[in-house]
Amino acid sequence: MASIDSLRFRDAMARLGAAVNIITTGTLETPVGFTASAVSSVTDSPPTLLVCINRSSRSRSAFEAGGALCVNVLSGLQQELSGIFAGKAEMAERFTHGHWSTLATGAPVLAEAVASFDCRIDNVVEVGSHSVMFCVVEDLRINEGQAGLVYFNRAYHVLPHPGL
């Protein structure tokens, strides 16, 4: 089997466009969150997502099996928020941006998100440098009429408004 160079692999993966999300856990009093594009649907019965996080991330220890997790899908107007949650800002500072509430699990939910998937982490699988979290959706919120935000070829792109 041929070995694929990791830089070449990352260059190819940059061409795989993905929604930009803020992944949260904890509570409104002790929130934790980071920006991620490595999110995917697994099945709709039961509704399950997978979320990947780098094992060396300072946020990783907050995400454990059985814990709450919310996938907040960002709109085209929230590129700055994506950068805040991807940067070096302290957790408390990150959550001063946007409006936060909770749904079923108690994980922070971004009111302005295109969609929010409120989940329980069912299983965590360690693969290479990342933890893959399988998350069963317990509740969700959809905000109609917002343009989406994707990351493609190492840049943000705003999708057309759904009504156009």
**Cis (ω within 30 of 0) for the bond into 46?**
yes
The range of the structural domain enclosing residue 40 comes to: 17-154
Q: What is the mean pLDDT of residues 137-144?
A: 96
What does DSSP assign to residue 161?
P
Number of domains in the chain: 1
38-61: pLDDT as tens digits: 999 999 999 999 999 999 998 999
Q: Indicate the pTM of the whole model.
A: 0.94
Distance (Å, rounded) from C-alpha 161 to C-alpha 143? 12
In a domain, 164, yes or no: no
The CATH number of residue 28's host domain is 2.30.110.10
